[in-house]
Structure formats: structure tokens, C-alpha cells
Homo-oligomer: A and B are copies of this chain.
Amino acid sequence: MAKPTKELDILKHHLSKNNLKLTRQRENILTTFLKMEHVTAEQMYRLLAKKDPHIGLATVYRTLKLLCETGLAQEQHFGTQTQFDNVAHKGHHDHLICTTCDKIIEFENCQIEELQEEVARKNGFTIRTHKLELYGNPVQLSSGECKNCGKDLSNQDVRR
């Protein structure tokens, strides 16, 4: 099936190191996961169910957690929603989230990361991971709608 990837090797290595086995489900989940920037467990479940209708949601949860342990994925909480980020391919990135249409834009900014390190250093900390989310929306039209999705924004408070 899928040609060997660096990521598959990472998974295999983690599996053998921990006496675990490479199953069809695990391989499918990894393959699908690598095509995405981020997924929720539910989304992953629905994607997989198209090809393999008998897949269980519990397996998806278990495998996504496994991918986090290998370092290929990283669990992220946006508001109330839990997403699994593909860090393997893109490296670390932060998020800009549209509060009207829930679209997520990824970005990186070295200057911010440096300032974060500085804050940590001042507090005697070593940063292991971090999370930065900006919530907002595209400049609104004079008519009061979101430029992206058209929803009415005129009665939303701005609070930073």
C-alpha cells in the first residue's frame, strides 16, 4: 500500500520498542493523519469509516493518543474542541482562529518564540511546549459582516 515514509518508520520503531504491533488500523490512521494539518477524533473516524466501515471510534482515540506518544501528533485544545496536530511534517506552529467561521490559520513567528523563551528564563523555567492562539475575525465590511463568511459582527464586543 502506501510507500514507506519516515513517519511510518518512527511509528514502527516506537511500536517495537514497546512490544506493540503494527496493525492495519494503525497504518491507515497514520496514513490519513499525515495528509491533514489537524483533525479531531470524530473527523478521523468519519474519514476512515469511508474505507473501513467497521473501524471503532475507540480505536481512533487509542491510536491518536499513540501517535502523540511517538511525537508525530500533538493534542491541542481549541476552546472546547480537541484537535490532533500533525507536527511531524510542519514543525511547531501557532494558530489564528476566526471567531465567526471557525477557520484556523497556522502561522509561525520566531520573534514571539524568542520573547517566550525570555519570559521563561526570567521565571527560571525551561519551556517544553507552548501554545498561542489568536481569536479574531477578518476586517469587517462597513455593512457589518465578516469578510470571510458573511455573518453579522456588528454586536460583538472587542475584548483583548
CB pair B129 A132 closer than 8 Å: no
- Which residues 70-106 in A have Cβ within 8 Å of B in the complex? 71, 77, 79-80, 92, 96, 98-99, 105
* A139 contacts B by Cβ under 8 Å: yes
Bound-state CA distance A112–B113 (Å) is 9
Bound-state CA distance A99–B130 (Å) is 11
- Copy tally for this chain in the complex stands at 2
Q: Residues of A with Cβ closer than 8 Å to B?
A: 71, 77, 79-80, 92, 96, 98-99, 105, 107, 109, 111-113, 115-116, 119-120, 123-140, 147, 156-160
Name 28 interchain pairs, CB-CB below 8 A, sorted by A: A71-B157, A77-B77, A77-B79, A96-B119, A96-B123, A96-B125, A98-B125, A99-B128, A109-B115, A109-B119, A112-B112, A112-B119, A115-B115, A124-B138, A124-B139, A124-B147, A125-B138, A125-B139, A126-B137, A126-B139, A127-B134, A127-B136, A128-B137, A128-B156, A128-B157, A129-B159, A131-B132, A131-B133
CB pair B112 A116 closer than 8 Å: yes
Chain B residues near A157 (CB, 8 Å)?
71, 128
CB distance from A65 to the nearest CB of B (A): 13
Chain B residues near A127 (CB, 8 Å)?
134-136, 160
Bound-state CA distance A16–B64 (Å) is 48
